[in-house]
Structure 1
Amino acid sequence: MEQQHSNKTQQKSRINTKIALQITLPLILFATISIQLSKNLCFKKAPTPTMNLYLEQQVKTINPRAIIKRCDLFSGQWIPNPDAPYYTNNSCGVIQEHQNCMKFERPDIGFMKWRWKPNDCDLPIFNANLFLEIVRNKSLAFLGDSVARNHMQSLICLLSQVESPTDVSNSKDDNFKRWHFETYNFTLAILWSPYLVKAQDNDPNGKTGKSFYGLYLDEPDEVWKAQIDEFNYIIISAGHWFFRPIIYYENRHFMGCRYCEIDNLTEYSLTFGYRNAFRTAFRAILEKESFKGTVYMRTFAPAHFEGGDWEHGGDCTRKRPYNTTEVTLEGENLDLYKTQMEEFKEAQKLGAKRGLRFRLLDMTQLMLMRPDGHPSKYGRPAKYNDIWPSDCVHWCLPGPIDSWNDFLLEMIKTEGFDTEIPSLGK
């Protein structure tokens, strides 16, 4: 009888073990799959409902203080990234011809295979799924010139690996485009304003880059000012247009000019108009009580002409980034950078009193190190090479500008905490 009871006990134990294994093995398998999915979120197909739930939980558990760790994201170096690029000119439909270096057969591809590595921490590669979850039901506008548009198109290309947006623009003008990601109810827009303030082309039939623009330095551009209330995030930038001939006005009265080369006219410095344009733009944002969003200032990204300027044979033919000892921020690039930073710090201080968040995307030094990332002559058919100047201002897509979105995601993840401003030096 005892032997029979023992046999029954052993049999029952085996049955319980099998049941336990049947229950636990699927749980282990599910956990393993979930971990693997979390490691491979970047640039895959659109997330399933389970994936969305997982990402929503990740967003809720982000600890901004743990992310920041007082690390200066903008001090570091470019390191190889063999996994890049994360899209091509075939997978992204918003790349303009003059940035489509793949289409026009740029022979080297190394310029696409670098990422930024801060000295004291790591900067994760852009995760399109996570970004879209964070900005669900929100909107973002790029305010500035064609480099701002270049940045927006880079972001669209990266996000398109998850979902292709719909063009909901009210205009066919590429300078005023809006794109909507329906699944996430997220809108992207470009608000064209290369000077940020009211501007008038005083010679619309003149040669490109040589016509005199009139800038009303104390009046913001009403086109963007009237629209910023619609956006949760604004990325403001400007720079390259200030190298053109400019006439300055204040209180609607003529003041002087820049690059006029006309006798008896007061000639102002490059930074005079630049400083006043940012000051006026920031003041307009601060005084607009209905605006409740976050302002990111993206600092000036230098051009890389060598052997002459853009209309005198200058070109950019380097094939790799500079390291930190090969190039120095100096001259007009340094002047513009310091001017921006000074105006930004003042706006950030005033914004804090009003409850407005001003954040910094400090791209100047790290993009100074990327002379290899411009289209050069690979933004047009070869037959135009002797007619059109090389482009050493904009950035190939895909290319180094994609890294700006690594910073953008990291900044949005840490929203609500101050960004430490680096020293400006003397």
Structure 2
Amino acid sequence: MKDLFGTKMDTNGGYGHPLRLPAGCTVSIHQYIWYATIFGLSAVLVVLSCIVYFDSGFGFLGPLKFGAVGSYNSSEGIVVAETGQIKELGGVGDYNSSERNKIGETRQQQNLGGVGDNSNGEGIMVNETGQQQKLGGVGDNGNAEGIMVNETGQQQKLGVVGGNGNGEGIMVNETGQQQKLGGVGDNGNGEGIMVNETGQQNSGEGIMGDETGQQKQPGDVRVNNSGEGFVGLKGEKKQLSECDLSVGMWVRDEAYPIYQSQNCPFMDSGFRCQENGRPDTDYLKWRWQPSDCDLPRFDPRKFLQSIQNRRIVFVGDSIGRNQWESMVCMLAEAVSDKTRIYEVNGNPITKHMGYLSFRFEDYNCTVEYYRAPFLVYQGRPPAGSPPEVRMTLKVDTLDYTSKLWVNGDILVFNTGHWWNYEKTVRWGCYFQEGHTVNIKLDIETAFQKSMNTWVKWVRQHVDSEKSHVFLRTYSPVHFRAGTWKTGGQCHEETWPDLKSSSLSSWKTQIMSEAIQHLQERKNVQSLNITYSAKMRKDGHPSIYYVGKENGPASIKKQDCSHWCLPGVPDQWNHLLYSHLIARGYGDLGTRVSRK
């Protein structure tokens, strides 16, 4: 039996003898198969080597191009994708250069500003200069828009927030710079945005995060990473004229105070807390922020221009004097030559009783104070009064200085602190109506009658088309472990009570009713400071109302009623200024700012 080649085979189809090879060569069939296998494997290795060679190239040759397009050595650089197409890489350089990590795992071209993977599981991108942006880095996408890469390697647009790979939320502002956790930037629409701890953008204009990246709700103080307080408002802001300025919160502001006591010669020594040795300064760094709107920036020069040839009149007790001195100092910031501000009668400000009037010569305006702690007339009792009556309060007649209040352009009244047992009945001061002293008349009813008298005076003597009238509400005291005469204290208070509740009393209720009785008058309103002032237990002189040469005072004799200047009364005047703007007073304008 023979095969196709004529070789003799045995009856079983096999070869009965060895394969014939050239002389001297004798190989079995098993050796033949072995040699063939070796040869085949070698061929495969050669093919694979060629593929590697043409794909990656040697350092001096560079990669082989498929479907050559353009010049490989041009400055534009090229990249070969799996499809063999030549890709341009925005002038980045050669594929085999150190910039190879601009190509993702698929070796597809990443467009300018596009994001890919650098084969290490990190998101990368290429900016307009061709530089690689690391995970969480920020660059420019070629359209002058700031972009960034989040932890998944996805591109984040202008103002969009992602993670930077360290569990921190980041964002891009309008300049393309990365904003850290709690930072604020611009989302491209002029709106402030923030990043919380999850890397998510929190909407709402002006919202900020604190150090932890958590968004603060209205009613809380927001402190950014620089220790500055900000507030965010939910929803749309209200117009100033529609906003309740008394509801809000105290926020830290490093721009405060707006003046220094040593630069204001028009201030009682008892209010100069810093000069009197108070060591802490945190109480100076707070401003009032309403919940539903922004206050206008206080502009002393613009305010002086609006009251040119006019009068601002403060009437009330020593807390009213506190506010009056604050106003003089705030306005004085706009006058470089302080000698152009003077008391019209040459009277000294310290320990002066009665009334004082400071003229701002360059604006021909005056800022005046009239001492009338009860608003109504206090004097000697009528003949035949009971022996215990040493003096009386005529609840149906205003103070003797009231004739000087008339024609004030801006009138600010306050009362309340002296309406108590200690300042009246204990001193032998009772209440009089007409020519009759009513020993049995209680203090609350007497106060009600006095406020009714004030309402009548406003109706009869104030032209509400010309004048603006404010009744400032009661300013709380903060004596702890006692009262003003029993060793009450506040000298260790250095921080506001930011979660204080509202304060309501018969005094505030009666004053509120008085304003309601004048609703028909055009420019008569309440200057409500009670809620905000209740939070500021840190703002009193305490033991620092005595000069350094004689102070501080004894801890048993503290002042927790008046306020340090600069300090809380500055914010009352800021509210006053804001109310005037809301009413269109003078040329103050309506532009608002957070500063």
| Mapping 1:118-133, distance limit 5 Å | 118-133=290-305
Distance of 1:94 and 1:100 partners within structure 2? 11
User: Secondary structure, in 3 states, of the residue corresponding to 2:455?
Assistant: helix
**Structure 2 equivalent of residue 255 of structure 1:** 438
8 Å contact kept, 2:241–2:583: no
Q: Secondary structure at the match of 1:188?
A: strand
Question: Which SS does the other structure have where 2:329 is aligned?
Answer: helix
1:196 aligned partner, one-letter code: L
CA distance in structure 2 between the aligned counterparts of 1:272 and 1:346, rounded to whole angstroms: 17
Q: Distance in 2 between matches of 1:213 and 1:296?
A: 29
Instruction: State the one-letter code of the partner of 2:458.
Output: I
RMSD of aligned alpha carbons: 2.5
2-structure distance, mates of 1:124, 1:215: 40
Q: Residues of 2 paired with 1:250 and 1:95: CA distance? A: 37
Q: For 1:279-294, what aligned pairs fall within 5 Å after superposition? A: 279-288=452-461, 292-294=466-468
Offset at residue 346 of structure 1 (A)? 0.5
Q: Does 1:401 align with 2:401?
A: no
2-side partners of 1:267 and 1:414: how far apart? 41
* Larger helix percent: 1
Whether the 8 Å contact between 2:545 and 2:553 is mirrored in structure 1 is no
Which residue type is aligned with residue 275 of structure 1?
Q
The structure-2 alpha-carbon separation of the partners of 1:281 and 1:138, relative to structure 1 and needing over 3 Å to count, comes to same
Aligned counterparts of 2:293 and 2:306: Cα–Cα separation in 1: 22
Q: What is the CA distance between 1:90 and its match in structure 2?
A: 1.4
**Of 265, 285, 289, which aligns to 1:113?**
285
- Aligned counterparts of 1:232 and 1:169: Cα–Cα separation in 2: 21
Once the two structures are overlaid, the 10-residue window that deviates more, 307-316 or 241-250, is 241-250
Residue 411 of structure 1 corresponds to: 579
**Equivalent residue, structure 2, for 1:242:** 419
Q: State whether structure 2 residue 495 is matched by structure 1 residue 312.
A: no
Q: 1:289 to 1:75 in 2, by over 3 A?
A: closer
Cα distance in 1 for partners of 2:244, 2:452 equals 26
Rounded Cα–Cα distance in structure 1 between residues aligned with 2:535 and 2:562: 14
Percent identity over paired residues: 28
Give the Cα separation in 2 of the matches to 1:150 and 1:346. 28
Partner of 1:58: none
Counterpart secondary structure, 1:247: strand
Which residue identity is paired with 2:412? Answer: I
* Uncovered stretches (5+) of structure 1, i.e. residues with no partner: 1-65, 203-210, 257-265, 418-426
CA contact (8 A) 1:74 1:118 kept: yes
Q: Is the 8 A contact 2:413 2:470 kept in 1?
A: yes
Going from structure 1 to structure 2, the CA distance change for 1:365 and 1:378 (only over 3 Å counts) comes to same
Higher Cα Rg, which structure: 2
Select the residue among 92, 110, 126 that pairs with 2:264: 92
> Which whole-Å deviations, capped at 9, do the CAs of 1:263-310 have from their partners, x for residues lacking one?
xxx261x42222222211221221226785221111111111111010
1-side partners of 2:552 and 2:575: how far apart? 36
Mapped contact 1:229–1:290 kept (Cα < 8 A): no
Q: Please, which of 374, 383, 386 is the counterpart of residue 540 of structure 2?
A: 374
Q: Does 1:389 align with 2:572?
A: no
- 1:77 and 2:249 equivalent? yes
Letter in structure 2 aligned against 1:376? S
Which residue of the other structure, out of 527, 541, 547, is the alignment partner of 1:361? 527
User: Given the alignment, which residue of 371, 392, 409 partners 1:192?
Assistant: 371
Residues 540 and 560 of structure 2 are in contact (CA less than 8 Å); yes or no, is this contact kept in structure 1? yes
The residue identity in structure 1 corresponding to 2:582 is T
Q: Write the deviation string for residues 81-131 of structure 1: whole angstroms up to 9, x where unpaired.
A: 111112112100012121110111101111110000111111134211121
Distance (whole Å) between structure 1 residues aligned to residue 370 and residue 553 of structure 2 = 31
- C-alpha change, 1:89 and 1:383, in structure 2 (3 Å) is closer
Whole-Å separation in 2 of the counterparts to 1:179 and 1:248 = 34
* Matches of 2:454 and 2:397, distance apart in 1: 8
SS of 2:411's equivalent? strand
Residues 397 and 384 (structure 1), Cα distance of their counterparts in 2 relative to 1, 3 Å cut? closer
CA 383–85 in structure 1, closer or farther in 2 if over 3 Å, else same: closer
Taking the aligned partners of 1:218 and 1:104, their CA distance within structure 2 comes to 42
- Alpha-carbon separation, structure 2, partners of 1:115 and 1:340: 25
Q: Is the 8 A contact 2:412 2:469 kept in 1?
A: yes
Q: Distance in 2 between matches of 1:363 and 1:178?
A: 24
2:508 alignment partner, one of 328, 337, 344:
337
CA shift for structure 1 position 201: 6.3
**Higher deviation after alignment, 401-410 or 125-134:** 125-134
| TM-score computed with the length of structure 1 as normaliser | 0.71
- The one-letter code matched in structure 2 to 1:315 is Q
SS in 2 for 1:402: helix
Match of 1:302 in 2: 476
- 1:373 aligned counterpart, secondary structure: coil
Matched, 1:216 2:391: no
- TM-aligned CA deviation for residue 69 of structure 1: 5.0
Aligned to 2:31: none
Change (3 A) 1:392 1:294: same
Q: Determine if contact 1:78/1:323 at 8 Å carries over to the other structure.
A: yes
**Over residues 197-221 of structure 1, what are the superposed CA-to-partner deviations in whole Å (9 max), with x where a residue is unaligned?**
110267xxxxxxxx96511111111
Q: How does 1:31-50 map to 2 (within 5 A)?
A: none
- Which residue does 1:31 correspond to in 2? none
Structure 2 match to 1:149: 321
Contact 2:272 2:545 in 1 (8 A): yes
Distance in 1 separating the partners of 2:459 and 2:556: 41
C-alpha distance in 2, partners of 1:375/1:91? 19
* Per-residue CA distance 1:174-224 (angstroms, 9 max, x = gap): 54111111221211101111111110267xxxxxxxx96511111111322
